[in-house]
Structure 1
Amino acid sequence: MFKKKTAWFSGSVRRGIRSFWVSEGGLISRWKSADYLFSDDATCHDTKRIFDTDDYARDRVTVFHSAFLSACQVRNSVKSVPIGHYVLPPFSVQKELKAVIGRFIWEHDKSQQGEQREGSVCCEGQHYPVNNMVSGYVCISQLRKYSGELNDLHPSYLHYSVSQSCRRRFCSE
């Protein structure tokens, strides 16, 4: 899965995750030369050091939660797991993000932990918290085929407006 890709792992990441990376053809490198940076804890000293760099401030590097690799392992695929859902932000902004999205995808109740590892990780929304950033998404295989004509939606033509407070639906004026 990770052939010819390099990764840096924070000290907060379990050894089993690192072993999985290597067993799937991935290489471990220093953070400055890695294709991917993985951490489980934004407050870990090595991860905080990355957040404090100019590279991070200028969007040259992104830190991902290692739960991405666990999801890839469960799905036996990298392509079916959206890595963007596993971005690990600095601890200082996590509270604000949670107010908008709810819990992060890697945060789940212990009762859901076994269920989530056995089932689909990205496609079955019922395993995610209601306000999670992936709620409401479905797999393409779950969609019904539509054979009619498709047209662009222009909310202003229908006297609708779009605002951030509506969260994924159009609000009537």
Structure 2
Amino acid sequence: MFRCRTAWFSKSVNEAHLKFWVQEGGTITGWRKADFIFSEDATSSDTLRIYESKDFLWDKVTVFHSLFLSTCEKRQSVRSVSIGHYVLPPVSVQHGKDYSRFIDLFMDSLQKYSGELSDYHSKHFPCLNCGVCVCLTTTKSNEM
């Protein structure tokens, strides 16, 4: 499931998650070289160091809650789980809310969308009345 992927694990992460990562073909590495960074506690000292790094401040790394791995294990799939639901922001961003309620989302509990889906292309906007695509042309004055 995680073959050819690397991850860093905070000391706050349950050892079972780490073992599952390795069992499914993942490799453990330093956080600066990892494809994924996992933590269970935004206040953990090793996670705090990542939040204070230039890489984090410049949006080069994202910390994910390790519950992502639990969900992957339950579903026996990584493709059916949206990792975006497991972003673990710094405590200052969490505003003291019960963040675990945000993390504990399952695809089955999400409301289904019944409308028509279409791809978004920059500079192309579908007309809400007739559905015809409207293209905006770029001029030199618009590019500045």
With normalisation by structure 1, the TM-score equals: 0.62
Listed one character per residue, the Cα deviations across residues 78-115 of structure 1 (whole Å, up to 9, x for unaligned) are 0000000100000111027x59x993123xxxxxxxxx
1:46 is matched with 46
What value does the CA root-mean-square deviation take over the aligned residues?
2.5
1:122 is matched with 106
1:136 is matched with 111
Partners of 1:72 and 1:93 in 2: CA distance: 26
Number of aligned positions between the proteins: 119
Partners of 2:69 and 2:40 in 1: CA distance: 11
Unmatched segments (≥5 aa) in structure 1? 107-120, 126-134, 147-151, 158-173
Q: Greater relative contact order (Cα 8 A, min sep 6): structure 1 or 2?
A: 2
2:101 is matched with 103
Letter of the aligned partner of 2:33 in structure 1? Answer: S
On the 8 A contact 1:43/1:91 being kept in 2, the answer is yes
Which contiguous aligned blocks of 4+ residues in structure 1 show a shift greater than 2 angstroms? none
Give the fraction of aligned pairs with identical amino acids, expressed as a percent. 50
2:80 is matched with 80
Partners of 1:13 and 1:5 in 2: CA distance: 18
Listed one character per residue, the Cα deviations across residues 122-157 of structure 1 (whole Å, up to 9, x for unaligned) are 3321xxxxxxxxx4247xxxx7xx9xxxxx573xx6
With normalisation by structure 2, the TM-score equals: 0.74
